[in-house]
Amino acid sequence: MPITDVSLDEGASITHPDLVDLAGCRIGAGARVGPFVQIRPGSRVGARCKVSSHSVLGPAVELGEGVFVGHGVVIGDQETGASGPTRIGAGASLGSRATVLPGLAIGRGAMIGAGAVVTEDVPDFALVVGVPGRVVGDARDRRGLEPHDPAGRLDEVAAG
């Protein structure tokens, strides 16, 4: 798999360079890219990010500093980037197999649950789950989701 026209900042690492498809992108200082990752032209991976295996960053994806991308995550349009940039805010986390549609913005510190499909912009520190993704809480709330669930939505979320 090819690596072409890639800018690696100091301390950035690609764990298995022969097992990635990277083109026309920039990998920030201290960032780590796992095997079987595809990053398309015009994308930027911020400092200290981790992009886990089998993930795909389409054209014009921007990961802020310290973003965690779980296994098998798909972000943005895979071909053209025609919808404009897809931005993931600093400190956000995307669970395994999550999908973020092109041209959206995920707020800083937001947490996207495994398997969620994000179809609209996500505010800072939002906790998003489901298909389509919906905000069910605040990622800063260490007590759990209960304070954000006055309508009993947690039972619906748990039921799938």
The architecture (CATH level 2) of 3-159 comes to 3 Solenoid (2.160)
Which residues is 134 bridged to in the sheet?
129
Query: What φ, ψ does residue 140 adopt, rounded to 5°?
Result: -85, -10
CA proximity to 73, closest of 93, 49, 56, 85:
56
Q: Is residue 78 within 8 Å of 54, Cβ to Cβ?
A: no
pTM: 0.85
Distance, CA of 128 to CA of 157 (rounded, Å): 11
Write the pLDDT tens digit of every residue in 35-74: 999 999 999 999 999 999 999 999 999 999 999 999 999 9
The answer to whether 71 is a known catalytic residue is: yes
What count of other Cβ atoms lies within 10 Å of the Cβ of residue 79?
Answer: 10
User: 83 pLDDT band (50/70/90 cuts)?
Assistant: confident
CA-angle at 79, arms to 125 and 32, nearest 5°: 50
Write the pLDDT tens digit of every residue in 117-134: 999 999 999 999 999 999
Distance, CA of 29 to CA of 27 (rounded, Å): 7
Catalytic residue among 16, 54, 71, 148: 71
Those residues whose C-beta lies under 8 Å from the C-beta of residue 59, and which sit 6 or more positions away, are 40, 41, 42, 43, 76, 77, 79, 80, 81
Write the pLDDT tens digit of every residue in 13-43: 999 999 999 999 999 999 999 999 999 999 9
